């Protein structure tokens, strides 16, 4: 059997990445599929961070004067390059992040979708006209490019997160510096090559408009602390956000934080269980439980708890686990050993807290001794304990029971994170209450749909320890621009606001 890395050279070549870009460096990248080494990527030092940000700022000074619809043309070309390379980039995501191929391809589709969205947006960066209290005056809001946008991304969406930020930032007139996860730099190199192809076709994009910074946390820190980075958009763990947020605030920069989730689904007595099982299954075990929106908690009414849990256990037993590039596989590997260890520790702690564990053990270790495949776990818990309240980035689904609807909503909200949530119910009152002001406190609240797999048209992000940021659709573009309020006097008088008199 050939190892995962045998596929890499031809993929990288077609994507336009020279082998020197991923060999001879110090950052060792391994495939979670079988642990084989994919490359050794050269990293950037502190001095290079400063140079790259300086070049990005120079580039911004030109780009901000390029008309927004023309900026949209560059993003349209990027979308075209992504369409042409969808299969190759999707496979590379599978190789490097371990996602099953359809999810790798889905991630690229998400990039294409956000490019399309941003192209339309490039003609819709509207401000308001506001009634002035003074005669012969007009007030308005104008939106202007912000500056250099620093993007820090996590391993589990190795490329889509960059595109959500970059597509919007570019049409908004900003330049971009991207620090991808140290676990997935190869997919980032491929995106950079595709961007450069698009920029070449575009013709007059300024040098350094979108650049890559390769390295670990220290390189991210240098980016975060650079005074020229107007917005830091950081996606990753709450631990990371707790460091990045204050560091950016200390220099009065802006941050957009997309951090950990602990997403719940409420199953009410009227729920369509066929729909619920499908929804829960995809959201709980898809991407091997390594999505920020993965369903981690199931809050089930007593009357349906046993029936639903039995059906889920049956479905879990039939899950095809294995090589994510093999057609039919639904659950690929965990990213690495540390992730496997964290999962096992959480299961032990949950048991100590009274939980009953189903699944969770390592599988396929004879075939893949250097990779970490697990059976997704279902853990029936007596209460929402500390372990349940913590995000473990692995496929563990905690099941909790409730009696009264208000208790279910209270349990759903009683965690530090606030990303995604869902209810399965055919009771209009319950569904609407869940979506209302006293319902779910998350940034995403769904009815009869699981917690993961958001569309790019909506704003994406969450509350509380999830960080409060919003990316992608709706009016998320505003984070990438600065707002000016303008008052214009076209009269021959100079009346003061609030009736103040200052006659000289």
- Which residues are identified as catalytic? 258
What are the residues whose beta carbons fall under 8 Å from the beta carbon of 470, sequence distance 6 or more?
Answer: 256, 443, 459, 460, 461, 476, 479
Neighbour-count burial of 336, counting CB atoms closer than 10 A to its CB (0-12 exposed, 13-18 middle, 19+ buried): middle
- Report if residue 334 touches ligand NAD, rule: CB under 6 A: no
The three-point CA angle 132-173-225 to 5° equals: 105
Which residues pair with residue 175 across a beta bridge?
Answer: 148
Residue 260 lies near ligand NAD (rule: CB under 6 A): yes
User: According to CB under 6 A, which one of 466, 468, 470, 472 is a site residue for ligand NAD?
Assistant: 466
Binding of ligand NAD by 152 (CB under 6 A)? yes
Among 44, 57, 179, 226, binds ligand NAD (CB under 6 A): 179
Closest CB to ligand NAD among residues 56, 198: 56
Which of 103, 182, 430, 465 forms a contact with ligand NAD (CB under 6 A)?
A: 182
- By CB under 6 A, name the one of 75, 114, 171, 244 that touches ligand NAD: 244
User: How many residues in the shown chain lie near ligand NAD by CB under 6 A?
Assistant: 29
Q: How far is the CB of 94 from ligand NAD (least distance, A)?
A: 17
Instruction: Give Cβ neighbours of residue 28 (< 8 Å, ≥ 6 apart).
Output: 37, 39, 40
Is 217 an interacting residue with respect to ligand NAD (CB under 6 A)?
yes
The residue to which tokens 């965690």 are assigned: 415
Give the residue, chosen from 85, 175, 181, 421, that forms a contact with ligand NAD under the rule CB under 6 A.
Answer: 181
Residue 270 binding ligand NAD, by CB under 6 A:
no
Instruction: List the one residue out of 255, 317, 269, 314 whose CA is nearest residue 461.
Output: 255
Which among 73-81, 152-160, 275-283, 321-329 is the span making contact with ligand NAD, rule CB under 6 A?
A: 152-160
Q: Which stretch binds ligand NAD (CB under 6 A): 63-71, 93-101, 200-208, 235-243?
A: 235-243
With contact defined as beta carbons under 8 Å apart, do 109 and 91 qualify?
A: no
Cβ nearer to ligand NAD, comparing 236 with 322? 236
Contacts of 306 (CB under 8 A, 6+ apart): none
| Interface with ligand NAD (CB under 6 A), residue from 157, 162, 282, 477 | 157
Kindly state the smallest distance separating residue 175's Cβ from ligand NAD, in Å.
19
Cα 412–417–418 angle (5° rounding)? 70
Q: Are strands 459-460 and 263-267 parallel, antiparallel or unpaired?
A: unpaired
CB of 412 closer than 8 Å to CB of 446 = no
Q: Sort residue 328 into left (φ over 0), alpha (ψ -120 to 50) or beta.
A: left
Task: In angstroms, give the least distance from the CB of 152 to ligand NAD.
Answer: 5
List residues binding ligand NAD (CB under 6 A): 152-157, 179, 181-182, 216-217, 220-221, 224, 235-237, 240, 243-244, 258-261, 292, 391, 393, 419, 466
């Amino acid at each position: 059997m050939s190892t995962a890395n045998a596929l890499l050279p031809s993929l990288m070549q077609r994507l336009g990445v020279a082998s020197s870009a991923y060999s001879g460096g110090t950052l060792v990248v391994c495939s979670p599929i079988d642990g084989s080494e994919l490359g050794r990527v050269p990293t950037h030092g502190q001095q290079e961070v400063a140079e790259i940000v300086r070049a990005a700022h120079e580039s911004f000074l030109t780009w901000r004067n390029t008309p927004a619809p023309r900026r949209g043309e560059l993003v349209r070309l990027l979308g075209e390059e992504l369409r042409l390379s969808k299969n190759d980039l999707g496979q590379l995501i599978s190789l490097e992040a371990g996602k099953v191929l359809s999810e790798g391809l889905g991630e690229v589709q998400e990039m294409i979708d956000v490019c399309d969205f941003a192209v339309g947006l490039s003609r819709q960066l509207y401000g308001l006209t506001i009634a002035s209290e003074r005669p012969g005056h007009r007030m308005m809001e104008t939106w202007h490019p912000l500056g250099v946008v620093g993007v820090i991304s996590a391993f589990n969406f190795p490329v889509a997160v960059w595109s959500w930020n970059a597509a919007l930032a570019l049409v908004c007139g900003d330049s971009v510096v991207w620090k991808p996860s140290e676990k997935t730099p190869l997919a980032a190199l491929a995106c950079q090559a595709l961007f450069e192809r698009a920029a070449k076709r575009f013709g007059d994009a300024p040098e350094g408009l979108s650049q890559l910074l390769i390295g670990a946390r220290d390189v991210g820190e240098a980016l975060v602390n650079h005074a020229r980075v107007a917005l830091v958009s950081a996606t990753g763990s709450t631990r990371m956000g707790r460091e990045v947020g204050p560091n950016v605030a200390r220099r009065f920069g802006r941050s957009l934080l997309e951090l950990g989730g602990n997403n719940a689904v409420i199953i009410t007595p009227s729920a369509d269980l066929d729909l619920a099982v499908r929804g829960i299954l995809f959201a709980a075990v898809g991407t091997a439980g390594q999505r920020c929106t993965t369903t981690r908690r199931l809050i089930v009414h007593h009357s349906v708890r046993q029936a639903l849990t039995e059906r889920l256990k049956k479905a879990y037993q039939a899950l095809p686990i294995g090589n994510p590039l093999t057609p039919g596989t639904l659950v690929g590997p965990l990213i690495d050993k540390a992730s496997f260890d964290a999962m096992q520790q959480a299961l032990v702690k949950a048991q100590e807290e009274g939980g009953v564990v189903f699944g969770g053990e390592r599988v396929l270790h004879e075939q893949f001794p250097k990779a970490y495949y697990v059976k997704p776990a279902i853990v029936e818990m007596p209460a929402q304990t500390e372990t349940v309240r913590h995000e473990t980035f692995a496929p563990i689904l905690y099941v909790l029971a409730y009696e009264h609807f208000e208790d279910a909503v209270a349990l759903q909200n009683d965690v530090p994170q606030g990303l995604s949530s869902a209810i399965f119910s055919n009771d209009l009152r319950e569904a609407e209450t869940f979506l209302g002001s006293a319902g779910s406190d998350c940034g995403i609240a769904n009815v009869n749909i699981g917690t993961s797999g958001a569309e790019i048209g909506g704003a994406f992000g969450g509350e509380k320890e999830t960080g409060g940021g919003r990316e992608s659709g709706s009016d998320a573009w505003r984070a990438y621009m600065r707002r000016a309020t303008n008052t214009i006097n076209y009269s021959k008088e100079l009346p003061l606001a609030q009736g103040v008199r200052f006659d000289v």
